[in-house]
Amino acid sequence: MMILVRYLDGTYDMVMNYHLDDLIRDNRIIGFERANRWVTIGLDPVRGSGGIYLGQDRRLVEEQESSPVFS
């Protein structure tokens, strides 16, 4: 599937969807078009851009709090 992207210099191009993650990771584009709207990198949420998470693990905390304690 082809996706419309906008590069840092303001030019547009159509790229294969499997190139999108690399373009985002390498900071080569400022946005791309989704089916329903335009996405601006750094402003709108982008799936898979999390990297290493160093914060509190919400799921782990919930599991620990809800686990029964047996004495």
pLDDT digits (tens, 9 = 90+) for 34-45: 988 999 998 988
Please state the pTM of the whole predicted model: 0.63
Residue 65 confidence (pLDDT): 53
> Above 90 in pLDDT, residue 4?
yes
pLDDT digits (tens, 9 = 90+) for 7-52: 999 999 999 999 999 999 999 999 999 988 999 998 988 876 555 4
Residue 35 confidence (pLDDT): 86
Q: What is the DSSP string of 45-69?
A: --TT------S--HHHHHHHHHS--
φ/ψ of residue 56, rounded to 5: -65, 140
